[in-house]
Structure 1
């Protein structure tokens, strides 16, 4: 019986060597997979101190979160003005300058679909906010995601405002078009100038939409972490009350 109990107890212990030898996560899926693994271990009763999660690992998980959110966010930020321009009928889509409701929804899904899916993956990791070791992993990973998303938001906001308010002013637009004046007809020149003039407000609108979607993106994992943390505290209080009876 003693040997059997020892075997059962030992199955819930993660060797320190396996934690120290953990490979660096190369991307989002691998980072979340590692979080899921240690979450399962701690949920089974394994005792893992947050101190086992070393500074090197904290930086690595922060980097993975930052890189993923920053790069994917910049791609979304580049597509956002184009999506709004399609809705405003400034850019044709599927060969038509009068997009249907389906066309508009499809374009917005292209612009924000990946961003929303990415947010759902992060929220999935945040929902495993149980156990000191797993919590440390998630805090650093989500911290990198939030930092990358905010950094992307600031860069995109400044860049789009620079384009709309400084680079593409009426004077600068005319100067830019005059550089190609010898190669384009007058009608094309006037049409291009009119298009740039109508496109400028789109850039400003896109910058504020990026800010809004970034806050939504950040809120999903943070709200999930807060909800799970409060739920765990509530369950622990209930468990303590039951045990004291």
Structure 2
């Protein structure tokens, strides 16, 4: 099911239709994805990134004037103020309006998937092309929160990230998004981030070892990420070129 749950200002909580207890809440300054129990995580989050165990992800809005000198410290202070456990919460920063977040879920025989994205493309970029680069952190433009209720090996988790990024790139290509500097077809933006969470639920008999596009799970990952990225861009007013 595809939805943009927060376009209507009266809606502040989205409850997963497939993953009992998984909720996405719009707060004043951030989206909070809360899992009913800790999940294995692999991510590029500015706070709580890498490999670990998390039960929350906060996608935090900052404006274009945000001082990026010490984002980890800034996020840690926000988590302390909000009462979030710093050891099990991943933090993302986004310059995209939170009401444009899109959610897509899909149920399969051996896995259920939840994907939430916030996306903008004002700084579209093509990997491998010559362009301006920066040595410091910048807030995310396409942030992907991908949750998989299934059992995956660590190698499969890496494979899942690969497939998700491929799907994001396909979504941008099909919309005709271009590198802001050289006009080439964009593969992403200059400030993308992703968080993958895996339940490792014992209710599934299969342990997934692969998540490429030839697998059932990889195909599902591609569909939810592709759809959510396109929907969040549509909500933000981006039209195919």
Shorter-chain TM-score: which interval? under 0.3
Quick one: higher RCO (CA 8 Å, sep 6+), 1 or 2? 1
- Quick check: which one's helix share is greater? 1
TM-score normalised to structure 2 length: 0.24
Which of the two has greater strand per residue? Answer: 2
TM-score by length of 1: 0.24
